[in-house]
Amino acid sequence: MGTVADESCGAEFHEFFERHYAELARLAYLLTGDTDGADDLAADALVAVWHHWDRVRAADHPAAYVRGVVANMARSRIRSAVRERRRIALFWSQSSERTDGPDIPVVIDVREALRRLPFRKRACVVLRHAFDLSERDTALALGISVGTVKSQTSKATAELQRLLGTSTTTELVGGRPRWTI
């Protein structure tokens, strides 16, 4: 039988979960580009947070802390996927004939452009523009300085302009609307 404090803590976490799960799943999707894995990633992050809920709820910005957990887990999953792709590519390149043909996409959409950005740039631009976080909140979520957020967001925006064109990028980040990707 649980104590009143345990029940209160559980209810508080449940409320936090209900309030932030969809946002965390969306963040995971924008960082990884994997629809199915995004829900799992958000759930895994919340399970990890539950194990340390006393510390997390005492933090100045619990939601920012959990966004950082999602970002770190996404980074780990991306790195694992890249390593796996390299192993598969190495295996197949040794066992089959290679054909080099141009791989030119007809249309580059926003999600594809985001996937092309390095993780930190992608995380900064997604948190700043898709989630409309301040530079300070983005820095808190990613565990980096505000100056790094500014430079990475600027570089990411320039890269998106190169990939998508100036008018599309201005439409997405110029007026700082919340993206609904």
Q: Which pLDDT tens digit goes with each residue over 104-148?
A: 332 346 778 888 999 999 999 989 988 888 999 899 889 899 999
Domain of residue 129, residue span:
105-181
CA distance 62 to 39: 19
Give the H/E segment covering residue 2.
none
Q: Tens digits of per-residue pLDDT, 7-49?
A: 777 888 999 999 999 999 999 999 888 888 899 999 999 999 9
Angle, in degrees to the nearest 10, between helices 146-164 and 135-142: 100
Residues 79 and 160 in one domain: no
Summary mean pLDDT of the chain: 79
Give the H/E segment covering residue 63.
helix 62-95
Task: Please check the confidence at residue 92 and state whether its pLDDT lies above 60.
Answer: no
**What's the domain count of the chain?**
2
Q: What's the pLDDT at 141?
A: 86
Residue 167: is it exposed, middle or buried by C-beta count within 10 angstroms (0-12/13-18/19+)?
exposed
Higher pLDDT, residue 52 or 98: 52
Residues 82 and 125 in one domain: no
- CA–centroid distance for 26 within its chain: 8
Higher pLDDT, residue 176 or 39: 39
Higher pLDDT, residue 164 or 166: 164
Task: Please check the confidence at residue 81 and state whether its pLDDT lies above 90.
Answer: no
Residue recorded with tokens 């449940």: 14
Residues 92 and 110 in one domain: no
What's 149's domain CATH number?
Answer: 1.10.10.10
Residues 121 and 141 in one domain: yes
Cα-Cα-Cα-Cα torsion 170, 174, 176, 178, nearest 10 degrees, comes to: -10
